Each structure stands twice: as C-alpha cells, then as structure tokens.
Copies of this chain bind each other. A is one copy, B any other.
Amino acid sequence: MDANVLKKAIEKFLHEDIGSGDITSEAIIPPEQTGKAEFVAKGTFVVCGMDSVAPAVFTAQNPAITIIHAEKDGAEASPGDILLQATGPVLDLLKAERVALNLVQRLSGIATLTARFVDRVKPLPVKILDTRKTTPGLRMLEKYAVRAGGGHNHRFNLSDGVLIKDNHIEASGSIQKAVSLVRGKIPHTMKIEVEASSMGEVRECLASCVDIIMLDNMDPVTMREAVKLAGGRALLEASGGVTLDNVRQVAETGVDYISIGALTHSAPACDISMRLLGV
C-alpha cells in the first residue's frame, strides 16, 4: 500500500467529514492548544489500520501531530487495550477523530472476520481470499485488512487479473474459445482463471490449460471430484455461499483457495473509541 496513494484517499475522506471546517471545535478550541489522543479497544478483535491508516489520517489533517504508539496491524486486541497514541493540536485531533475511527473500526472488522475464517480452516493448506465485493472507494484499504487478518487477495480490479465467467463463455461460444481470445491479449505475467459450474466445465478448463478454475457454487462432493480430476494441473478456487459454518467442509475438499465476498461486504465494525487527555 503506497503512502502517497493512501494520503490522497484520506484527504478526500477528511474533506467529506470536515467540510469547510468544524464549526463546533473551531469556536471553542484555540488552535495552539495541544493534547494527547488515545484509541481504546472496546472489544476483542484483530486490529487493522493502527500502524498504517490512522497515523496517515492524523498527519494528513496536520503534519504537526506525532504518533507515539501504534499497535501492529494484525495483532489481537482486548477490551481496554490502548491501540494508538497521538499528540498534537487538540483541534486537529478532534477533526481527524471520526474519519480515523470510521476507518479502523471497519478495517478491524474485516480483519477480524477474515481471521475467524482463517482459524476455521487451520491447519489445512487452503487460503482464504477476498473478492471484488468491496466498498466502492475503499478497495485498497479493505484488501489490506483481509491480509492483516491472515487472508489473501484476489485480483485488484478488472484490469489486473483475468476471470472468464459464464457470460464470457456464452458470448464466445465455448471455454476454449474464450480462453484463446484472452490468452492472445493479456500480459504473460497474468494467469487465466475460468469459472466452472459443472464437472464438464472443469474438464474443458483443464483441456484449455487454464491456470485457475473457480468452482462456482459447487457442492462439496463435486468439488472433491474436481480436485481429484485436476490433480494439480490447475489451482482450484471454491466460490459461492461459503459461511463460517461450512468453510471447514469446503476446505476439506482439497481446494487451494476459498473466496468469500462477506469478508468485505458484511463484516460488522469493531468498537474502538478515542479519548482525549490533557485538554
């Protein structure tokens, strides 16, 4: 995650929340007053954003703010843990508070949910993946949170990874034709992934020498069969309908990856609050 890209995004977020100014705080807090802000965990969760995003929010608001402590992203937090300490102008600590909290609460929520999925499949050699079902505008951050929780990332967007889906196959006539059209155009650094919803399609994929086969909404029995058939000739990714309840069963089929949209679209926020000292 490049620091300059992060800063640009944060500047937009701060502007959304601050508008032309914080009319309450600017009327009350003198700009020269300094203090210390602390982020405190109000629950048990996997931290994300503390040593990366939150510091960037505070320093984007005012470079005079100093971060004196930040919990490592990916660490476990317990109620009462102090996750971040920052000192500087109180006015800017207050202005940056909500954006920083909104981000770390959401990112920690994603990291925490990811970690729960990862735990369920341990010690199987399967990897938990995110999807493109991220919040518009937050993809880079949410994919970072998935990594903080022990998961792995699928492609970032439509231009840096290939995924041939049913509509593509229909439009071109067959898996083989679709793969051939794509292979002629993409960088050699990219793999080709194709969605398959039946064993017949898995066979076609293997015949076309695709790199990854996405097993779309298959039942575990069929997945197991696909794993056997593939025999290492392609990576297999299970996708669709995976929950904390059934992820272990999916993992045990022997697939290499399990992708889960809920990691980013339905993780509840973690509870973190900010307290100001020495005001």
**A98 in contact (CB, < 8 A):** yes
**A207 in contact (CB, < 8 A):** no
Which A residues from 140 to 166 make CB contacts under 8 A with B? 140, 147, 152-165
* A134 partner residues in chain B, CB cutoff 8 A: 102
* A232 partner residues in chain B, CB cutoff 8 A: none
| Total copies of the chain | 6
* A1 partner residues in chain B, CB cutoff 8 A: 20-21, 26
**A220 in contact (CB, < 8 A):** no
* A140 partner residues in chain B, CB cutoff 8 A: 20-21
A211 to B192, CA, bound (A): 13
Q: Which residue of B lies closest to A127 (CB)?
A: B188
* A101 partner residues in chain B, CB cutoff 8 A: 133
Question: Which of A26, A28, A256 has the largest number of chain B CB atoms within 10 A?
Answer: A28
Which of A70-78, A115-123, A222-230, A265-273 binds B? A265-273
Distance to closest chain B CB from A253 (angstroms) = 17
**A246 in contact (CB, < 8 A):** no
A101 to B103, CA, bound (A): 22
A186 with B23: CB separation less than 8 A: yes
B167 with A94: CB separation less than 8 A: yes
* A182 partner residues in chain B, CB cutoff 8 A: 23-24, 27-28
- CB within 8 A of A135: which of B20, B102, B139? B102
**A99 in contact (CB, < 8 A):** yes
A47 to B20, CA, bound (A): 21
A50 to B95, CA, bound (A): 24
Distance to closest chain B CB from A5 (angstroms) = 6
**A247 in contact (CB, < 8 A):** no
A138 with B139: CB separation less than 8 A: no
Distance to closest chain B CB from A258 (angstroms) = 11
**A67 in contact (CB, < 8 A):** no
B158 with A22: CB separation less than 8 A: yes
* A212 partner residues in chain B, CB cutoff 8 A: 188-189
- Interfacial residues, chain A to chain B (CB-CB below 8 A): 1-5, 9, 11-29, 33, 60-62, 90, 94-95, 98-99, 101-103, 105-106, 109, 127, 129, 132-140, 147, 152-165, 167-168, 170-172, 178, 181-182, 184-191, 193, 211-212, 235, 237, 256-257, 262, 265-266, 268-269, 276, 279
Give 6 nearest A-B pairs by CB, closest first.
A19-B159, A160-B160, A137-B137, A13-B136, A266-B268, A22-B158
15 contacts between A and B (CB under 8 A): A1-B21, A2-B22, A4-B15, A17-B157, A23-B158, A23-B159, A23-B162, A26-B185, A27-B181, A95-B158, A98-B133, A153-B186, A155-B189, A159-B160, A167-B276
